[in-house]
Structures are given as C-alpha cells and as structure tokens.
Amino acid sequence: MSNRWWEIVVKCEPVQEESVFWRLEKFGCSGTATEVKILDDNGDLDSELIDERILIRTYIPEINTQLLDLAALSLWLEQDAKLLEVAVPEAQWHLIDEEDWASGWKEYWKPMTIGDRFLIYPAWETLPEEESDRLILRLDPGAAFGTGTHPTTQLCLESLEMRLSQNAENQTLADIGCGSGILALGSVLLGAKKVYAVDTDVLATKTCRSNCQLNQVNRDKIVVRDGSVEKLTEEGEIFDGIICNILADTIVELFPQLNQITHETSWAILSGILLTQADQIADVVEQQGWTVAALWKRKDWCCFNIRRSEY
C-alpha cells in the first residue's frame, strides 16, 4: 500500500506569497507551487465581484503530520497575516496517494521567460528542439524557494542582467539565502566568475547542489555552503556583488555584516521586500554607508540595487 500525503492549498492575496512559502517551508512541506486565480469570496470565476487571489499548493507526508498540526499551521498563517496587516489566508487540506503527490504540483509550473535573457525550464519538461537566444536555466525547486514565478525572484534576475552586462567574468558574488539556487545559477549563466551560495536551510542547499548538477555547472563555479554571512566570512573572500532575496527583517539583521565581506566599490541586490518596508530598508542601507542606485517595483514588492560608494 502506497504512502499518503496531505495536499495543502492556501488561498491568499499575492502580497502574502513569500510569507506563506516561508511558513510552509518551516512546517516541513515539499513541492510548493503557486497558481494564480481570479476568485470571488465563494471561489467562483464568473462573479462580477472578483479580485485576484493566488492558490499555493504544497504537500507533506501523512506520517509526519496530524490534524492537530494542520490546525496549528492554519493559526500560524493567521498570525503571519495579522503582522502584515492583510486578509487572513484560507487553508484547506486532504489526503492523496503518493503517486498523485509525485506529479500533482508540477502541472502548475511551466516554462517562462524572465527579463531579456532568461528562459526558466522545469527539470521535467522536455527542452525545446529549436535553438533559443535566451539563457536556459533548468530547475527542480523541490521544497526550496525560487522558481522564478515570484516578483522578487524576477526583479533579482533582471537586476543581475544589468549588473553583469559588463566585466562579469571578473566578478565573484555571494547569494545569501540561495534557496533553489536560481539566482546563483543565473549569475553564472550571465558570465560571473564565481558564486558562493549559502542558506541556513539544509534542504535548500541540497536542492541548490542538485540544480547545479542539472545545469552542468562545475563545483568551482558555484560553491554551496550551509549557513549565512558567517560562513562567507570563513571563506575569506571579498565579494564584488551580493544577492539577497530573503525576508526584510532578516536583511535588516544581516546588513551591518556585509561591509566585512565587500570592498569599497561592491554592489548588492536586495529583495524579498514589501513596498511598505522600503523606507526601513533604505534607512539601514544608508546608515551602513551604502547608496541606493535604483529601486525597482513589481506588484507589492520591490528590489533595491545599491552600491557602497559612487563609481
């Protein structure tokens, strides 16, 4: 008899996507994917009174989770929403067989173009026969954050296109909170000399290593480590660029340490930041002697392009 899994579906506003992903990851879920729907309060698609919601679908083994745990998850999602001052998400769950879990979430994620250069391809999709003038980045995110569907990931990849348009082959970067490795891989595809990818979640670093193999990237091009800024400090590298697509509160906590691992003309890309949190991040950046070069926005999210000094 096959093992069974809980399929959890969370309906929420787009602004909550990253916080819900984070909560589901902490809960131990695997294979998280987002599906955009236009829904009214009854879940109908034809109503005139509709608004945009997203459905976040994920899975966790039945053996690891009791109904009481799922009730607690629903409560945590409610608490997270209150902190963000947004509507409370609706969470539902039901049991499915293992073979349904193995392929269920993947049908909602298809190849997509990002920026001027990237074509993100799910690992299980057959690559196109015709040649593409885009950089093909193959990905199997597993339970790690980073598929390219989220606005913050898109903004970071587009920012990397700009930052690495010149002199890429001489630049060593650090991807803090690497998740699936999508930004580290994107940097290498754009020609970066080397990237150090770190994450405090061992599942994320495992996924990152797997995606490096999937894209046939040598280990000397992307160095993956468990940890955060302290691990980068141990490496003894001084970085030309920093990529950091994580929660704003974590950026605030870590940012004072970045001066230790960068030089006077280093740059950084910061995202995972809500528009309502932009002023807080700008204050921290300026207090540490950095300059905001550009602030890019998409939906409810923003991405800071910053540098340590004028050049």
Q: Are 291 and 270 in contact (CB under 8 A)?
A: no
Asked whether residue 97 falls in the same domain as residue 188, the answer is no
The arithmetic mean of pLDDT across residues 258-284, rounded, is 94
173 vs 6, residue with greater confidence: 173
220 exposed, middle or buried (CB, 10 Å; 0-12, 13-18, 19+)?
Answer: exposed
Give the separation between CA 114 and CA 116, rounded to whole angstroms: 7
What DSSP state is assigned to residue 89?
A: P
Q: Are residues 85 and 163 in the same domain?
A: no
The count of domains in the chain is 2
Task: Quote the distance between the C-alpha of residue 165 and its chain's center.
Answer: 22
Residue 310 has pLDDT above 60, yes or no: no
Residue 156 and residue 48 share a domain: no
Task: Verify that 126 and 243 share a domain, yes or no.
Answer: yes
Percent of the chain at pLDDT above 70?
A: 88
The CATH number of residue 63's host domain is: 3.30.70.120
Local confidence band at 239 (pLDDT 50, 70, 90 cut-offs): very high
**25-29, 79-83, 245-249, 284-288: which has the highest mean pLDDT?**
284-288
For 234, the domain range is 109-307
Least confidently predicted of 26-30, 204-208, 281-285: 26-30
pLDDT band with cut points at 50, 70 and 90 for residue 145: low
Q: In whole angstroms, give the CA distance from residue 300 to residue 307.
A: 24
CATH number, domain containing residue 254:
3.40.50.150
With a cut of 70, say whether residue 65 has pLDDT above it: yes
User: Last residue of a domain, which of 107, 127, 149?
Assistant: 107
Domain closes at, from 107, 134, 151? 107
Q: Domain ends where: 88, 107, 126?
A: 107
Q: Same domain for 137 and 222?
A: yes
103 with 90, same domain: the answer is yes
Cα(158)–Cα(131) distance, integer angstroms:
22
Reported residue count of the chain is 311
User: The pTM is what?
Assistant: 0.74
Alpha helices in 85-181 (DSSP H): 98-104, 151-163
